[in-house]
Amino acid sequence: MKTKIQACIIDDEQDGRDYIALLLQNEFPEIEIVFQATSIEEAYIYLSKNSPGILFLDIQLKDGTAFDLLSKFKLLDSQIIFITAFENFAIQAIKNGAADYLLKPIKKIDFIIAVNKTLENIKKNKIIPAGSSKKNKISLPTLQGFKLTDIGDIIRCEADSSYTTFYLTDKTKIIVSKTLHEFEELLTDYNFFRIHHKHLINLSHLKEYIKGKGGQVIMTDNSVLDVSVRKKNDFLSNIEQMD
C-alpha cells in the first residue's frame, strides 16, 4: 500500500482546522492528518520529534505567531502552507520558506491549487543523489515549483542565512530555501568546494586565484570571492590534485 503523506494543522480556531481537514478528506485522500495543534507550545513539542510532509500553519496563534514557532528551529523539513486573514504577512511568509500562502476565508480552488503545488514540491525538491543515472542534474525547489538544472551549469552558491542563491552560466539566479551546508554535503562529490562560510564554488568554473592572507578567487562569471584563512590550505590542496 502506498504510504500517505503526513500533514499537520496548526490553527487556534476550531472552524479553521475542521475546514482544512474536510477539504483534505474530500480532495486529497493521499494526505493523512497526523496531528492538530492550537498553540506554538503544542506545535513545538510535536515538531521537535516529527517531520510531517506538509504543515498548514496559521500565522496568528493565541500564544504568538507562526514566525515565533519557526524561529525555534534551525531547519524544519516540512512544506509550509501559511494561512492568515491578513495580507501584510505575505513577504514574511515567503522569507520563511512558504510553499504557498492562503488568505482566510479560504477558497476551495485556492486550497486545491496550493496543495497540488506543494505535493509537486515534495516529489521534486530532493537532490538527485550521486550514483543516479541522472546525476548530472539537480532539482532546485522554488516557490513556483522546481527547476531541473545541470550541475555543470552552476558556477557558485552563496549563503544568505537559511537561503542559498545559485548563480548559473546563463546569468540567472535561483534562490532556494535551504542552507548552504545542505548543498555542500550534496555537491562536494561533483567538484564543488566551500571556500568561505558564504561561498561554495564549482572548481570547474574557477578562473583565477589571487594570493593573500586567505586569498581570492575569480570565477568564470567574473565574480571575485574571498577565501577564508581557515579554508585556504585545503582549497589549494584540492586545486593541486585537479587534472
Q: What is the CATH number of the domain that holds 110?
A: 3.40.50.2300
Of the three residues 103, 124, 145, the one that is the final residue of a domain is 124
pLDDT tens figures, 94-105: 656 677 888 889
Q: Are residues 25 and 67 in the same domain?
A: yes
pLDDT tens figures, 151-194: 899 999 999 888 999 999 999 999 998 889 888 888 888 889 99
Q: Which helix (H) or strand (E) holds 193?
A: strand 192-194
Q: Are residues 31 and 95 in the same domain?
A: yes
Query: How far is 154 from 236, CA to CA, in rounded Å?
Result: 21
Looking at residue 90, what is its pLDDT?
Answer: 63
Which residues contact residue 169 at a Cβ distance below 8 angstroms, ignoring those fewer than 6 apart?
A: 153, 155, 205, 220, 221
Domain count, the chain: 2
Global pTM reads 0.53
Give the phi and the psi of residue 163 in degrees, each rounded to 5. -110, 160
